[in-house]
Amino acid sequence: MTRQSVVEFRTHTEDDREGIINFLFSIRDELYFSERSVAEHIVSQLFTQGGAIVGEVDGEIAALSGYFLGEPSHHFANKEVGFVYVAGIARPYRGTAAFRTGFRFTVETFQSWGLREIRLHALAQDIRLNSLYSSFAQPIRKEENGRGLPCVLYGNTLEAVMHILTEREKRRHAYNITPVHRPVASRPHGV
C-alpha cells in the first residue's frame, strides 16, 4: 500500500484543536491568509458552530473538511444544512483518492446526523475548486466570506450528492481494466 492510500477519516475531538490550527496554517497560501491568528479564529468558529472531519496519516492531519451546522448567512438557524466552510488536503495527498474518500465520509456523516443538504464555499478566484464543486452541486449565490473575500456558494441535497458519488464510483470500476499479461516474444537474432 502506498503512503497516499492510508488517509483515514474521522470526526474531530477537542484534542484536535491545535493540530487543525497547524494544518490550516500549513496550507495558508491556498486559503489566502498569512497569520496564524486567522487559522485560530477559523477553528474557534468551527468548534463553536460545527466541527471538522479530519483525515490522518500516521497520527498527523493530512486532510480537513471544516463545517458549520447551518449557514452563517442564516445565523446557523437552518440546521438541516451541513456547510463546508474550509477544506484542504496536504500536497502529498492531492490527486489521490483522499478527496473522494474524505468527501464521501463527510456526506455520509452529515446523512447519519439527519442533515438533508450540503453547502460548499469556494473562493471565487479558485478555478480548480469551483470546477470541482460544480461537478456535484449547483451554484446558489455569490457572497463574501468572513474575511471579505468573494466566494461562490454551492449546494445540493445529500441524497443527490451521494447518487453522483456512487455513479462515478461505478464508472471508475467499470473502466478499471486489468491488463492481460502475454509472454514477450524473444527478439529474433540479428534484429
Measured CA to CA, the distance from residue 37 to residue 87 in angstroms comes to: 18
The band of 187, judged by pLDDT with boundaries at 50, 70 and 90, is: very low
Strands ordered across the beta sheet of 50-57: 8-11, 50-57, 60-69, 81-89, 117-123, 150-157, 138-144
- What the block records as the C-alpha cell of 8 is 483515514
pLDDT of residue 95: 83
Domains of the chain: residue spans and CATH? 6-174 (3.40.630.30)
**Least confident segment among 28-42, 90-104, 175-189:** 175-189
pTM above 0.85, yes or no: no
Backbone φ/ψ region at 121: left (φ over 0), alpha (ψ -120 to 50), beta: beta
Q: What pLDDT is recorded for position 31?
A: 82
The CA-based angle 47-96-145, given to 5 degrees, is 35
High-pLDDT (> 90) share of the chain, % = 65
Query: What average pLDDT does range 106-129 have in this prediction?
Result: 94
